[in-house]
Amino acid sequence: MALLAVDKLAVHMPSHHGPIPLVREVSFSIEKGETLGIVGESGCGKTMTALALMGLLPDGAIPSGEIRFEGENLLAQPEDRLCKLRGNRLAMIFQEPMSALNPVHTIGSQIAESLILHRGLYPADAEAEAIRLLELVRMPEPKARLAQYPHQLSGGQRQRVMIAIALACRPDILIADEPTTALDVTVQAQILDLINDLVDELGMALVLISHDLGIVGDITDRVLVMYAGKVVEAGPTVPLFNRRAHPYTRGLFGALPDPGRARGSRLYAIPGTVPDPWLVPGGCAFADRCPLVEQACREAVPPNVEVGPDHRALCRRTDMMS
Amino acid sequence: MKRDGLIMRCLRQRNFVIGLILVGIVLAAALVSYFWTPHSPTRINVPGRLAPASSVHWFGTDHFGRDVFSMILVGSRNSIGVGLVAVTIGVLTGVALGLLASAKRGWVEDLIMRMADFTFAFPAILSAILITAILGPSTFNSILAIGIFNIPVFARITRGAANAILARDFILAARAAGKGRIRITLEHVLPNISNVLIVQATINFALAILAEAGLSYLGLGTQPPDPSWGRMLNESQTFLFRAPMLAIYPGAAIMIAVLGLNLLGDGLRDALDPRLARSR
Q: In chain A, which residues have their Cβ closer than 8 Å to the Cβ of B105?
A: 59
Residue B67: domain span: 3-34+52-278
For chain B, give the percent of residues with pLDDT over 90.
31
Q: How far apart are CA B271 and CA B27, in angstroms?
A: 22
Q: Write phi, then psi, for B92 (nearest 5 degrees).
A: -60, -50
Q: How far apart are CA B146 and CA B197, in angstroms?
A: 18
Residue B41 lies in a domain: no
Residue A315's pLDDT is: 86
Chain B interface includes A104 (CB < 8 A): yes
Torsion of the alpha carbons at B244, B245, B248 and B252, rounded to the nearest 10: 170
Q: In chain A, which residues have their Cβ closer than 8 Å to the Cβ of B170?
A: 99-103
Residue B43 lies in a domain: no
Angle at B139 between CA B134 and CA B141, to 5 degrees: 30
> How many domains is chain B built from?
1
Taking an 8 Å cut-off on Cβ atoms, the answer to whether A56 and B172 are in contact is yes
Q: A171-184 pLDDT, tens per residue?
A: 999 999 988 887 88
Residue B42 lies in a domain: no
Mean pLDDT of A87-110: 88
| Residue A207 CB burial class (10 angstroms; 0-12, 13-18, ≥19) | buried
> Residue B2: pLDDT band by 50, 70, 90 thresholds?
very low
Residue B151's pLDDT is: 92
> Residue A27: pLDDT band by 50, 70, 90 thresholds?
very high
Give A96's Cβ-side CA count (13 Å radius): 11
CA distance A5 to chain B (A): 19
Helix axes A155-167, A185-202, angle to 10 degrees: 10
Look up the CATH number of the domain holding residue B221: 1.10.3720.10
As for the ipTM of the complex, it is: 0.81
For residue B46, pLDDT over 70 is answered with yes
Q: A296-322 pLDDT, tens per residue?
A: 888 888 888 888 888 988 888 877 765
> Residue B277: pLDDT band by 50, 70, 90 thresholds?
very low
Taking an 8 Å cut-off on Cβ atoms, the answer to whether B183 and A56 are in contact is no
**Which is it for strands A4-13 and A62-69: parallel, antiparallel or unpaired?**
antiparallel
Q: Is the CB of residue A225 less than 8 Å from the CB of residue A248?
A: yes
Q: B124-149 pLDDT, tens per residue?
A: 778 788 888 888 888 888 898 889 88
Q: Is the CB of residue A220 less than 8 Å from the CB of residue A236?
A: no
For residue B6, pLDDT over 80 is answered with no
- Tell me which H or E stretch contains B189: none
Q: How far apart are CA B108 and CA B97, in angstroms?
A: 10
Q: Is the CB of residue B208 less than 8 Å from the CB of residue B146?
A: yes
Taking an 8 Å cut-off on Cβ atoms, the answer to whether A100 and B187 are in contact is no
How many Cβ atoms are within 10 Å of B10's Cβ, its own excluded?
19
Q: How far apart are CA A54 and CA B151, in angstroms?
A: 37
Three-state SS across chain A?
A: CCCEEEEEEEEEECCCCCCEEEEEEEEEEECCCCEEEEECCCCCCHHHHHHHHHCCCCCCCEEEEEEEECCEEHHHCCHHHHHHHECCCEEEECCCCCCCCCCCCCHHHHHHHHHHHHHCCCHHHHHHHHHHHHHHCCCCCHHHHCCCCHHHCCHHHHHHHHHHHHHCCCCCEEEEECCCCCCCHHHHHHHHHHHHHHHHHHCCEEEEEECCHHHHHHHCCEEEEEECCEEEEEEEHHHHHHHCCCHHHHHHHHCCCCCCCCCCCCCCCCCCCCCCHHHCCCCCCCHHHCCCCCHHHHHCCCCEEEEECCEEEECCCHHHHC
> Residue B280: pLDDT band by 50, 70, 90 thresholds?
very low
For residue A264, pLDDT over 80 is answered with no
Cβ under 8 Å to A: B residues 92-131: 105
Domain residue spans of chain A: 239-322
Residue B47 lies in a domain: no
Residue B278's pLDDT is: 45
How many Cβ atoms are within 10 Å of A105's Cβ, its own excluded?
18
Residue B237's pLDDT is: 86
Residue B61 lies in a domain: yes
Q: Which residues contact A271 (CB under 8 A, 6 or more apart)?
A: A289
Q: Which residues contact B178 (CB under 8 A, 6 or more apart)?
A: A83, A84, A85, A86, A87, A88, A114, A117, A118
Residue B44 lies in a domain: no
Q: Write phi, then psi, for B188 (nearest 5 degrees).
A: -110, -40
Q: In chain B, which residues have their Cβ closer than 8 Å to the Cβ of A102?
A: 170, 174, 188, 191-192
Q: In chain B, which residues have their Cβ closer than 8 Å to the Cβ of A101?
A: 170, 173
Report in angstroms the alpha-carbon separations of B271 from B17, B164, B253: 12, 20, 27
- Coil/strand/helix, residue B177: coil
Taking an 8 Å cut-off on Cβ atoms, the answer to whether A104 and B192 are in contact is yes
Residue B40 lies in a domain: no
Q: How far apart are CA B108 and CA A171, in angstroms?
A: 35
Taking an 8 Å cut-off on Cβ atoms, the answer to whether A87 and B180 are in contact is no
Mean pLDDT of A125-134: 90
Q: How far apart are CA A30 and CA A90, in angstroms?
A: 13
Mutation for A interface: B170, B187, B197, most A CBs within 10 A: B170
- The residues with which A234 forms a beta bridge, in sequence order, are A224, A312
Tell me which of A291-295, B16-20, B79-83 is least confident. Answer: A291-295
